[in-house]
Structure 1
């Protein structure tokens, strides 16, 4: 029996759920199922790549709930959430897993060919209103509850116009004419604070009360990563020793921060390394996998971090220590005190009797033309601009035998 292909097992960019590699999230799945049973809208948020799309698709399929996906990135391009929702319902003549008849498609095509879909922050409900018409068509095909998924919310979060349109749509769906269609929204994206945003905008105090927010979809833990490795490489007819499996799981958690997409990417890269070595593993392969993983998706991050390192071999190289320690912070926001504590832990022999100058280094890392950090307004706190920077720092920087921060010189 031939071995499965690597790319059929580890699928970091596959939009559809890879059933054999799906990691169960019992709490999130339970919360989402309960939220979807209510007559309200639902919000899922979490960092990009943490598996939000697979989560909602898995749950909706288990509930046998019909849905369409409207992409907020496309709504931003079109300048209209309404138009993108309408397009998603009639896309290619079908809704998800539900086909239109030729007669119904003719009606849809004739209606939307009129070009009467326009961006509008408030809607006059009449017989030609496109959103209501699209929902009625959806309802004629699916009489049970159905969901419009608004994915990639981050694409419109900074647009006051589109967020106001979203607020109007949320309110409209309580209108009897819309409610009869039995459609709810599932809003999916990176930004936290969405409910607070709706509470703060004018005349929208009640919008947040119409939305159920489930817990943030975070990264995978070591046990979940171990399951992915065991399952995935098992499908490839390969088994690591218990010691190697533990070491690999810890390493992948450390460099990927548990991002589901990045875990799949790393496992895919490691599997290719194994394939080229006739499926014979040795721990040095992790170094080769590190380099291959960085080259394929972190070129920009590597180059940006390299620009911020000390440009000469200074005695202490405090800036390099700061950057190294930023990737070891366990909280989202940090200040100079947090970094100084980590420097004392990792570089105890370099602690001066006077000030270390960490605050000035953090300010410099946030003020550069290509900043590594963002500064929280009116405070001394900072946060990393992109989680990929953290992943890259963890792979490219290490403490050498002399106790100094050293850089792995990958070919980028």
Structure 2
């Protein structure tokens, strides 16, 4: 059969693309409206959400649609270079708008607009009359926007969130934007990252509580709805690639499978759909049901080693008789819903491990809370706070493969990594 692919799948599904894929962007009206309202307000904004949830595409789409001039400062560079002001200088240098011949950081104490400026003072050998990096960057944004409002995005907050020194510097910068010297440039901050408790940190830190009042935390950027996920799948496989027809049984099967396997995380959807589409593209034919199994295998193989170590670290460290936490983790892997409550988990644990749970208080809430608070958690709370989801959908698949039940069907044991058989799971 002659088959003429319309596009290369890499042009359609773009999981690592920093620029907004305008064709594949799925509108998120509530989040977009909240961000737009925040831009029209007086406070600086905190945009947070789990990795891969679409934060960057969201703010870039809204800022572009509003014709707002903006620049992005990567706080991972601030961590690497030593401070945020060095990252500002890095941005200026990349744009060839400032030349630095020597630079020595000096640190002072205090916290208000005047002292914040002192905290960011430097010993420089700039040209006479040149500005320090923060003001120079604001000035450039002001000039580029022709005197209108502009935005400075501070992305990857998680890169500095464990550093009190960097957070203090961020607080200084936020405070300075209220000072006439800096306010005249009409630049608003959007702080973007995984942590959602930046305001709480400032409120609870001595001398920094006033900074919390200068920030507005936007609703969490969460996973797509099932309807939005299907919209993305249809746009890619039906409209752009023409690999599927919505009337086909295979279309519905793929939609259901992608929703389940990716947990509706936008980046994961793009990653998985790209792997799936490439199977058809490489074989010069439309999608077939067997392609799903191949895509599943590749999806697992890429992440299995890391996922195994994370799940293993969450299991019971001691050889207890029951290993209740391991029973809970095993049960999480068996649930077929993307979100689950403590009651859902307890019902499964009591049903599957009835001999060791009869007339016993299980404290499932405490176990789930413990698992969600690990440095690399396998689950996390949803914005509503009463349900949980997997932090990465690959953890669920890994749990199903690596854990088994022994000793009268009550004790959970892990299979060694080098003995895992993906074929037994996938086929």
Asked if Structure 1 and Structure 2 have the same fold, meaning a TM-score greater than 0.5 normalized by the shorter chain, the answer is yes
Q: Is the 8 A contact 1:270 1:285 kept in 2?
A: yes
Aligned to 2:137: 134
Indicate the SS of the match to 2:220.
coil
Aligned to 2:112: none
Aligned to 2:124: none
Equivalences for 1:13-412 in 2 at 5 Å?
A: 13-93=16-96, 105=97, 108-109=98-99, 112-116=100-104, 122-124=116-118, 128-142=131-145, 143-234=147-238, 235-240=240-245, 241-302=247-308, 304-305=310-311, 321-327=327-333, 328=335, 339-344=345-350, 347=352, 353-355=358-360, 386-387=391-392, 390-393=395-398, 396=401, 409-410=421-422
Q: RMSD over aligned Cα, in angstroms?
A: 4.0
CA distance in 2 between partners of 1:200 and 1:333 (Å): 31
Q: Is the 8 A contact 2:332 2:396 kept in 1?
A: no
Q: Is the 8 A contact 2:243 2:287 kept in 1?
A: no
Indicate the SS of the match to 2:292.
helix
Q: CA deviation at 1:294?
A: 1.4
| TM-score for both structures, normalised by structure 1 | 0.78
Q: CA deviation at 1:395?
A: 6.6
Q: Is the 8 A contact 1:229 1:249 kept in 2?
A: yes
Q: CA deviation at 1:138?
A: 3.2
CA distance in 1 between partners of 2:363 and 2:402 (Å): 19
CA distance in 2 between partners of 1:186 and 1:370 (Å): 26
Q: Is the 8 A contact 1:256 1:391 kept in 2?
A: no
CA distance in 2 between partners of 1:210 and 1:161 (Å): 19
Indicate the SS of the match to 2:36.
helix
Larger mean Cα displacement after TM superposition, 326-335 or 149-158: 326-335
Larger mean Cα displacement after TM superposition, 71-80 or 280-289: 280-289
| TM-score for both structures, normalised by structure 2 | 0.76
CA distance in 2 between partners of 1:82 and 1:342 (Å): 52
In structure 2, the CA distance between the partners of 1:132 and 1:59, relative to structure 1 (3 Å rule), is: same
Q: CA deviation at 1:382?
A: 12
Q: CA deviation at 1:343?
A: 2.1
Indicate the SS of the match to 2:103.
coil
Q: CA deviation at 1:140?
A: 3.0
CA distance in 2 between partners of 1:383 and 1:148 (Å): 33
Structure 2 unmatched ranges of 5 or more: 110-115, 122-128, 317-321
Q: CA deviation at 1:338?
A: 5.9
Q: Is the 8 A contact 1:266 1:293 kept in 2?
A: yes
In structure 2, the CA distance between the partners of 1:118 and 1:16, relative to structure 1 (3 Å rule), is: farther
Aligned length: 380
Q: CA deviation at 1:260?
A: 0.5
Q: CA deviation at 1:10?
A: 0.6
Q: CA deviation at 1:269?
A: 1.0
Q: Is the 8 A contact 2:226 2:259 kept in 1?
A: yes
Q: Is the 8 A contact 1:322 1:358 kept in 2?
A: no
Indicate the SS of the match to 1:272.
helix
